[in-house]
Amino acid sequence: MLSTKRICIIGSGNISNTRHIPAIRKNKNLEIVGIVSNEIKNLERTKSKYKFIKNSLLIDTKIDILEQLNNVSWFRGVDAAIIGTPPREHYEISKACLQLKKHVLVEKPMAIDVDQCNEMIECAKQNSVTLNVMHSFSYADGIKKMENRFRKGELGELGSILEIQLTNRDRRLPKWYNDLPLGLFFDEAAHFFYTAMRFGNGNDYSVLNAHAQYGAIKENTPQHLEVQGNVGETPVQMYMNFNSPVCEWVLLLICSKKIAIYDFFKDIFFVVDNDKNHLALDVLRSSIQYTVGFWRGFITNGFKMVANQLLYGHDKAINKFIESTETKNNSMYLSAEMGKKVVAAMNHVVNLAGRTQ
Protein backbone atom coordinates (compact mmCIF):
# COMPACT_ATOMS: atom_id res chain seq x y z
CA MET A 1 0.00 0.00 0.00
CA LEU A 2 1.42 3.36 -1.04
CA SER A 3 1.56 6.09 1.58
CA THR A 4 -0.41 9.31 1.21
CA LYS A 5 1.42 11.87 -0.91
CA ARG A 6 1.08 15.62 -0.53
CA ILE A 7 0.88 17.19 -3.99
CA CYS A 8 1.43 20.74 -5.20
CA ILE A 9 -0.09 21.81 -8.50
CA ILE A 10 2.13 24.29 -10.35
CA GLY A 11 0.24 26.11 -13.09
CA SER A 12 -3.41 27.17 -13.11
CA GLY A 13 -4.28 26.96 -16.78
CA ASN A 14 -6.48 24.59 -18.72
CA ILE A 15 -4.36 21.45 -18.32
CA SER A 16 -4.17 21.80 -14.53
CA ASN A 17 -7.89 22.47 -14.16
CA THR A 18 -9.30 19.90 -16.58
CA ARG A 19 -6.76 17.09 -16.36
CA HIS A 20 -4.30 17.19 -13.45
CA ILE A 21 -6.60 18.11 -10.58
CA PRO A 22 -9.51 15.82 -11.63
CA ALA A 23 -7.04 12.96 -12.16
CA ILE A 24 -5.42 13.43 -8.74
CA ARG A 25 -8.83 13.45 -7.05
CA LYS A 26 -9.46 9.91 -8.30
CA ASN A 27 -6.64 8.61 -6.09
CA LYS A 28 -7.59 8.58 -2.41
CA ASN A 29 -3.90 8.42 -1.41
CA LEU A 30 -3.17 11.82 -2.92
CA GLU A 31 -3.82 15.17 -1.25
CA ILE A 32 -3.56 18.49 -3.09
CA VAL A 33 -2.17 20.85 -0.47
CA GLY A 34 -1.57 23.91 -2.63
CA ILE A 35 -1.38 25.55 -6.02
CA VAL A 36 1.30 27.82 -7.48
CA SER A 37 0.89 30.15 -10.44
CA ASN A 38 2.25 33.35 -11.94
CA GLU A 39 -1.20 34.31 -13.30
CA ILE A 40 -3.39 35.93 -10.63
CA LYS A 41 -6.59 35.63 -12.67
CA ASN A 42 -6.08 31.93 -13.34
CA LEU A 43 -5.02 31.30 -9.76
CA GLU A 44 -8.18 32.87 -8.35
CA ARG A 45 -10.34 30.99 -10.84
CA THR A 46 -8.80 27.65 -9.83
CA LYS A 47 -9.14 28.41 -6.10
CA SER A 48 -12.80 29.29 -6.66
CA LYS A 49 -13.46 26.10 -8.62
CA TYR A 50 -11.61 23.77 -6.22
CA LYS A 51 -12.32 25.23 -2.81
CA PHE A 52 -10.71 22.28 -1.01
CA ILE A 53 -7.27 23.58 -2.06
CA LYS A 54 -6.36 25.63 1.00
CA ASN A 55 -2.96 27.04 0.06
CA SER A 56 -1.77 29.10 -2.89
CA LEU A 57 1.24 31.09 -4.01
CA LEU A 58 1.51 33.74 -6.69
CA ILE A 59 5.08 33.68 -7.99
CA ASP A 60 7.08 36.14 -10.04
CA THR A 61 9.01 34.32 -12.79
CA LYS A 62 11.47 37.22 -12.99
CA ILE A 63 12.65 36.48 -9.45
CA ASP A 64 14.45 33.34 -8.24
CA ILE A 65 11.76 30.66 -8.16
CA LEU A 66 13.63 28.32 -5.82
CA GLU A 67 13.83 31.01 -3.16
CA GLN A 68 10.14 31.90 -3.53
CA LEU A 69 9.09 28.26 -3.10
CA ASN A 70 11.48 27.63 -0.23
CA ASN A 71 10.14 30.61 1.69
CA VAL A 72 6.62 29.16 1.83
CA SER A 73 6.04 26.94 4.86
CA TRP A 74 3.32 24.77 3.33
CA PHE A 75 5.47 23.99 0.27
CA ARG A 76 8.20 22.55 2.48
CA GLY A 77 5.81 19.74 3.42
CA VAL A 78 5.01 18.85 -0.19
CA ASP A 79 6.16 15.45 -1.48
CA ALA A 80 5.69 16.02 -5.21
CA ALA A 81 4.93 18.76 -7.73
CA ILE A 82 2.87 18.29 -10.87
CA ILE A 83 3.81 21.03 -13.33
CA GLY A 84 1.40 22.26 -15.98
CA THR A 85 2.93 25.62 -16.90
CA PRO A 86 3.81 26.80 -20.44
CA PRO A 87 6.74 24.78 -21.92
CA ARG A 88 9.29 27.57 -21.66
CA GLU A 89 8.80 27.57 -17.88
CA HIS A 90 9.25 23.79 -17.41
CA TYR A 91 13.02 23.84 -17.06
CA GLU A 92 13.41 26.51 -14.38
CA ILE A 93 10.41 25.46 -12.28
CA SER A 94 11.27 21.76 -12.46
CA LYS A 95 14.87 22.41 -11.41
CA ALA A 96 13.73 24.52 -8.46
CA CYS A 97 11.42 21.76 -7.24
CA LEU A 98 14.05 19.05 -7.77
CA GLN A 99 16.64 21.09 -5.83
CA LEU A 100 14.13 21.32 -2.98
CA LYS A 101 13.94 17.50 -3.11
CA LYS A 102 10.40 17.30 -4.47
CA HIS A 103 9.45 14.58 -6.92
CA VAL A 104 8.40 16.13 -10.23
CA LEU A 105 5.91 15.17 -12.93
CA VAL A 106 6.19 17.80 -15.66
CA GLU A 107 3.90 18.25 -18.65
CA LYS A 108 5.14 17.52 -22.16
CA PRO A 109 7.31 18.68 -23.75
CA MET A 110 9.81 18.16 -20.95
CA ALA A 111 11.83 21.26 -21.89
CA ILE A 112 12.82 23.37 -24.89
CA ASP A 113 16.14 21.69 -25.71
CA VAL A 114 18.24 18.65 -24.85
CA ASP A 115 20.71 20.60 -22.70
CA GLN A 116 17.86 21.62 -20.40
CA CYS A 117 16.66 18.00 -20.29
CA ASN A 118 20.12 16.80 -19.29
CA GLU A 119 20.35 19.37 -16.49
CA MET A 120 16.95 18.35 -15.15
CA ILE A 121 17.89 14.65 -15.22
CA GLU A 122 21.18 15.32 -13.44
CA CYS A 123 19.43 17.47 -10.83
CA ALA A 124 16.95 14.67 -10.09
CA LYS A 125 19.83 12.20 -9.64
CA GLN A 126 21.78 14.53 -7.35
CA ASN A 127 18.75 15.02 -5.10
CA SER A 128 17.55 11.38 -5.22
CA VAL A 129 14.06 12.26 -6.44
CA THR A 130 11.90 11.08 -9.32
CA LEU A 131 11.53 13.11 -12.50
CA ASN A 132 8.79 11.98 -14.91
CA VAL A 133 7.18 13.52 -17.99
CA MET A 134 3.42 13.56 -18.55
CA HIS A 135 3.13 11.40 -21.65
CA SER A 136 -0.49 10.82 -20.75
CA PHE A 137 -1.73 9.03 -23.87
CA SER A 138 0.66 6.18 -23.10
CA TYR A 139 -1.95 5.21 -20.49
CA ALA A 140 -5.14 6.18 -22.34
CA ASP A 141 -7.62 3.30 -22.60
CA GLY A 142 -7.64 3.28 -26.40
CA ILE A 143 -3.84 3.18 -26.71
CA LYS A 144 -3.62 0.36 -24.17
CA LYS A 145 -6.24 -1.63 -26.10
CA MET A 146 -4.37 -0.99 -29.33
CA GLU A 147 -1.09 -2.15 -27.82
CA ASN A 148 -2.70 -5.29 -26.37
CA ARG A 149 -4.03 -6.34 -29.79
CA PHE A 150 -0.73 -5.43 -31.42
CA ARG A 151 1.46 -7.36 -28.93
CA LYS A 152 -0.75 -10.44 -29.32
CA GLY A 153 0.00 -10.46 -33.04
CA GLU A 154 -3.62 -9.97 -34.07
CA LEU A 155 -2.74 -7.07 -36.37
CA GLY A 156 0.16 -8.79 -38.11
CA GLU A 157 3.59 -7.31 -38.75
CA LEU A 158 3.91 -3.56 -38.35
CA GLY A 159 4.70 -2.06 -41.74
CA SER A 160 4.52 1.65 -40.99
CA ILE A 161 2.99 4.30 -38.73
CA LEU A 162 0.92 7.23 -40.00
CA GLU A 163 0.05 10.20 -37.75
CA ILE A 164 -2.38 12.91 -38.81
CA GLN A 165 -3.20 16.13 -37.00
CA LEU A 166 -5.80 18.66 -38.08
CA THR A 167 -6.04 21.75 -35.88
CA ASN A 168 -8.67 24.47 -35.87
CA ARG A 169 -7.17 27.79 -34.72
CA ASP A 170 -10.61 28.91 -33.48
CA ARG A 171 -10.51 26.39 -30.65
CA ARG A 172 -9.24 27.28 -27.19
CA LEU A 173 -5.50 27.75 -27.58
CA PRO A 174 -2.92 29.07 -25.09
CA LYS A 175 -1.86 32.66 -25.67
CA TRP A 176 1.83 31.70 -25.63
CA TYR A 177 1.90 28.99 -28.31
CA ASN A 178 3.40 31.11 -31.10
CA ASP A 179 6.41 31.94 -28.92
CA LEU A 180 7.55 28.31 -29.17
CA PRO A 181 9.78 26.85 -31.91
CA LEU A 182 7.34 26.02 -34.75
CA GLY A 183 4.54 27.30 -32.51
CA LEU A 184 1.73 24.82 -32.00
CA PHE A 185 3.91 21.98 -33.25
CA PHE A 186 6.22 22.23 -30.26
CA ASP A 187 3.34 22.30 -27.78
CA GLU A 188 1.34 19.43 -29.25
CA ALA A 189 3.57 17.10 -31.29
CA ALA A 190 5.11 15.29 -28.30
CA HIS A 191 2.06 13.00 -28.26
CA PHE A 192 2.88 11.76 -31.76
CA PHE A 193 6.54 11.14 -31.02
CA TYR A 194 6.13 9.15 -27.81
CA THR A 195 3.21 7.06 -29.10
CA ALA A 196 5.21 6.16 -32.22
CA MET A 197 8.17 5.17 -30.04
CA ARG A 198 5.84 3.06 -27.90
CA PHE A 199 4.84 0.92 -30.86
CA GLY A 200 8.41 0.90 -32.13
CA ASN A 201 9.53 -0.92 -28.98
CA GLY A 202 10.94 2.21 -27.37
CA ASN A 203 13.42 2.91 -30.16
CA ASP A 204 14.42 6.49 -30.85
CA TYR A 205 12.47 8.55 -33.36
CA SER A 206 14.95 9.28 -36.15
CA VAL A 207 13.83 12.27 -38.22
CA LEU A 208 14.79 11.96 -41.90
CA ASN A 209 12.97 14.89 -43.48
CA ALA A 210 10.70 17.73 -42.40
CA HIS A 211 9.06 20.36 -44.57
CA ALA A 212 6.79 23.23 -43.57
CA GLN A 213 4.61 25.58 -45.58
CA TYR A 214 3.89 29.02 -44.13
CA GLY A 215 1.15 31.52 -44.81
CA ALA A 216 1.37 35.26 -45.42
CA ILE A 217 1.27 36.05 -41.68
CA LYS A 218 4.73 35.84 -40.17
CA GLU A 219 4.44 33.50 -37.20
CA ASN A 220 6.19 30.40 -35.92
CA THR A 221 3.29 28.01 -36.50
CA PRO A 222 3.23 26.81 -40.13
CA GLN A 223 0.08 26.14 -42.14
CA HIS A 224 1.21 22.60 -42.95
CA LEU A 225 4.02 20.38 -41.73
CA GLU A 226 5.20 16.99 -42.96
CA VAL A 227 7.75 14.80 -41.21
CA GLN A 228 9.27 11.52 -42.37
CA GLY A 229 11.26 9.36 -40.04
CA ASN A 230 11.88 5.94 -38.56
CA VAL A 231 11.33 4.35 -35.19
CA GLY A 232 13.83 1.54 -35.22
CA GLU A 233 13.23 0.02 -38.67
CA THR A 234 9.60 1.15 -38.87
CA PRO A 235 8.85 4.06 -41.24
CA VAL A 236 6.81 6.86 -39.66
CA GLN A 237 5.02 9.64 -41.51
CA MET A 238 3.51 12.64 -39.74
CA TYR A 239 1.21 15.15 -41.40
CA MET A 240 -0.04 18.25 -39.60
CA ASN A 241 -2.45 20.91 -40.85
CA PHE A 242 -2.68 23.88 -38.49
CA ASN A 243 -5.34 25.71 -40.52
CA SER A 244 -8.14 23.16 -40.56
CA PRO A 245 -11.84 23.94 -39.90
CA VAL A 246 -12.02 20.89 -37.61
CA CYS A 247 -9.72 19.28 -35.03
CA GLU A 248 -8.79 15.63 -35.44
CA TRP A 249 -5.72 13.74 -34.24
CA VAL A 250 -5.33 10.17 -35.51
CA LEU A 251 -2.69 7.45 -35.18
CA LEU A 252 -2.70 4.51 -37.62
CA LEU A 253 -0.69 1.33 -37.28
CA ILE A 254 -0.54 -0.05 -40.82
CA CYS A 255 0.05 -3.77 -40.33
CA SER A 256 0.02 -6.82 -42.59
CA LYS A 257 -3.35 -8.16 -41.42
CA LYS A 258 -5.22 -5.07 -40.25
CA ILE A 259 -5.05 -1.33 -39.85
CA ALA A 260 -5.41 -0.16 -36.26
CA ILE A 261 -6.84 3.33 -35.81
CA TYR A 262 -6.67 5.50 -32.69
CA ASP A 263 -8.63 8.75 -32.31
CA PHE A 264 -6.84 10.92 -29.73
CA PHE A 265 -9.60 13.42 -28.98
CA LYS A 266 -12.23 10.77 -28.32
CA ASP A 267 -9.88 8.04 -27.00
CA ILE A 268 -11.34 5.56 -29.50
CA PHE A 269 -9.55 2.51 -30.91
CA PHE A 270 -10.80 0.15 -33.62
CA VAL A 271 -9.43 -2.05 -36.41
CA VAL A 272 -10.23 -2.58 -40.08
CA ASP A 273 -9.36 -5.88 -41.78
CA ASN A 274 -7.32 -6.40 -44.93
CA ASP A 275 -9.69 -5.60 -47.80
CA LYS A 276 -8.20 -8.38 -49.98
CA ASN A 277 -9.16 -7.81 -53.63
CA HIS A 278 -10.91 -4.52 -52.88
CA LEU A 279 -14.11 -5.77 -54.51
CA ALA A 280 -17.47 -4.23 -53.72
CA LEU A 281 -18.19 -6.59 -50.80
CA ASP A 282 -14.68 -6.04 -49.42
CA VAL A 283 -15.17 -2.28 -49.50
CA LEU A 284 -18.58 -2.62 -47.85
CA ARG A 285 -17.12 -4.82 -45.09
CA SER A 286 -14.33 -2.31 -44.40
CA SER A 287 -16.85 0.54 -44.31
CA ILE A 288 -19.03 -1.32 -41.82
CA GLN A 289 -16.04 -2.12 -39.60
CA TYR A 290 -14.96 1.51 -39.63
CA THR A 291 -18.44 2.85 -38.91
CA VAL A 292 -19.32 0.34 -36.19
CA GLY A 293 -15.90 0.62 -34.55
CA PHE A 294 -16.05 4.40 -34.43
CA TRP A 295 -19.60 4.67 -33.13
CA ARG A 296 -19.14 1.95 -30.52
CA GLY A 297 -16.27 3.93 -29.04
CA PHE A 298 -17.99 7.27 -29.46
CA ILE A 299 -21.15 6.19 -27.65
CA THR A 300 -19.08 4.98 -24.68
CA ASN A 301 -16.72 7.95 -24.47
CA GLY A 302 -19.16 10.62 -25.62
CA PHE A 303 -20.94 10.51 -22.27
CA LYS A 304 -17.58 10.70 -20.47
CA MET A 305 -16.63 13.76 -22.50
CA VAL A 306 -19.86 15.54 -21.64
CA ALA A 307 -19.43 14.66 -17.97
CA ASN A 308 -15.76 15.79 -18.02
CA GLN A 309 -14.68 12.29 -17.04
CA LEU A 310 -12.50 11.51 -20.06
CA LEU A 311 -8.99 12.04 -18.71
CA TYR A 312 -6.94 10.59 -21.59
CA GLY A 313 -4.67 8.56 -19.32
CA HIS A 314 -3.73 11.40 -16.95
CA ASP A 315 -5.09 9.55 -13.92
CA LYS A 316 -3.15 6.37 -14.68
CA ALA A 317 0.01 8.30 -15.55
CA ILE A 318 -0.14 10.15 -12.21
CA ASN A 319 -0.63 6.85 -10.38
CA LYS A 320 2.43 5.40 -12.17
CA PHE A 321 4.44 8.48 -11.23
CA ILE A 322 3.43 8.22 -7.57
CA GLU A 323 4.27 4.52 -7.57
CA SER A 324 7.72 5.25 -8.99
CA THR A 325 8.47 7.74 -6.19
CA GLU A 326 8.35 4.83 -3.76
CA THR A 327 9.58 1.88 -5.83
CA LYS A 328 12.16 3.86 -7.88
CA ASN A 329 11.04 1.81 -10.89
CA ASN A 330 10.23 4.40 -13.52
CA SER A 331 7.79 3.66 -16.31
CA MET A 332 9.74 3.77 -19.57
CA TYR A 333 6.93 5.77 -21.16
CA LEU A 334 7.00 8.49 -18.47
CA SER A 335 10.74 8.51 -17.90
CA ALA A 336 12.83 11.64 -18.27
CA GLU A 337 15.00 9.76 -20.77
CA MET A 338 11.95 9.23 -22.99
CA GLY A 339 11.08 12.88 -22.52
CA LYS A 340 14.57 13.84 -23.68
CA LYS A 341 14.26 11.65 -26.77
CA VAL A 342 11.02 13.41 -27.66
CA VAL A 343 12.58 16.86 -27.24
CA ALA A 344 15.59 15.80 -29.35
CA ALA A 345 13.37 14.61 -32.22
CA MET A 346 11.20 17.73 -32.05
CA ASN A 347 14.25 19.98 -32.22
CA HIS A 348 15.49 18.05 -35.26
CA VAL A 349 12.20 18.90 -36.96
CA VAL A 350 12.53 22.54 -35.92
CA ASN A 351 16.02 22.71 -37.42
CA LEU A 352 14.82 21.24 -40.71
CA ALA A 353 11.49 23.05 -41.05
CA GLY A 354 11.69 26.18 -38.88
CA ARG A 355 10.96 29.52 -40.48
CA THR A 356 14.13 31.37 -41.39
CA GLN A 357 12.86 34.41 -43.33
277 and 180 part of one domain: yes
Q: How many domains does the chain have?
A: 2
Position 97 pLDDT exceeds 60: yes
- Consecutive H or E run containing 98: helix 90-99
- In eight-state DSSP terms, residue 335 is B
d(CA 186, CA 111): 10
**pLDDT score of 203:** 82
169 and 304 part of one domain: yes
- Quote the pTM value: 0.94
Report whether 327 contacts 132 (CB < 8 A): no
Q: Hey, how many other C-beta atoms are within 10 angstroms of the C-beta on 64?
A: 13
Position 230 pLDDT exceeds 90: yes
* Least confident interval from 26-40, 248-262, 272-286, 296-310: 296-310
* Least confident interval from 2-6, 40-44, 164-168, 237-241: 2-6
For residue 335, being part of any structural domain is answered with no
For residue 256, being part of any structural domain is answered with yes
111 and 158 part of one domain: no
Long-range residue pairs from 170-175, CB within 8 A, at least 24 positions apart, any chain: 171/247, 172/14, 174/13, 174/14, 174/86
Q: What is the mean pLDDT of the chain?
A: 94
Query: pLDDT grade, residue 2 (50/70/90)?
Result: low
153 and 63 part of one domain: no
* Strand segments (E) across 180-322: 205-213, 224-231, 234-241, 248-255, 258-263, 268-273
Q: Domain end: 90, 109, 134, which one?
A: 134
Query: pLDDT grade, residue 357 (50/70/90)?
Result: very low
Report whether 192 contacts 164 (CB < 8 A): no
267 and 159 part of one domain: yes
66 and 145 part of one domain: no
Q: Hey, is 60 helix, strand or coil? A: coil
115 and 172 part of one domain: no
> Listing from the earlier edge strand, what are the strands of the sheet with 55-58?
55-58, 30-37, 5-10, 80-83, 103-107, 131-134
17 and 53 part of one domain: yes
> Mean per-residue pLDDT for 292-319?
87
Q: Hey, how many other C-beta atoms are within 10 angstroms of the C-beta on 303?
A: 11
**How does pLDDT run across 157-208, given as a tens digit for each residue?**
999 999 999 999 888 888 899 999 999 999 999 999 999 999 987 689 999 9
Position 5 pLDDT exceeds 60: yes
Position 18 pLDDT exceeds 90: yes
Which residues have a Cβ under 8 Å from the Cβ of 126 and sit 6 or more positions away?
Answer: none
More confident residue, 58 or 295: 58
Q: Domain end: 99, 134, 169, which one?
A: 134
More confident residue, 296 or 348: 348
**pLDDT score of 356:** 56
For residue 26, being part of any structural domain is answered with yes
246 and 279 part of one domain: yes
> 210 lies in which domain range?
138-311+348-353
Q: Domain end: 77, 102, 134, which one?
A: 134
95 and 207 part of one domain: no
> Mean per-residue pLDDT for 5-33?
96
For residue 319, being part of any structural domain is answered with no
Cis peptide bond N-terminal to 174, omega within 30: no
More confident residue, 295 or 140: 140
More confident residue, 292 or 202: 292
Position 105 pLDDT exceeds 90: yes
172 and 82 part of one domain: no
Position 291 pLDDT exceeds 60: yes
In the chain, % of residues over pLDDT 90: 81
Assign residue 91 the CATH number of its domain: 3.40.50.720
User: What secondary structure does DSSP assign to 11-22, as a single string?
Assistant: --SHHIIIIIHH
Position 109 pLDDT exceeds 60: yes
d(CA 260, CA 103): 36
**How does pLDDT run across 326-345, given as a tens digit for each residue?**
988 889 999 999 999 999 99
166 and 205 part of one domain: yes
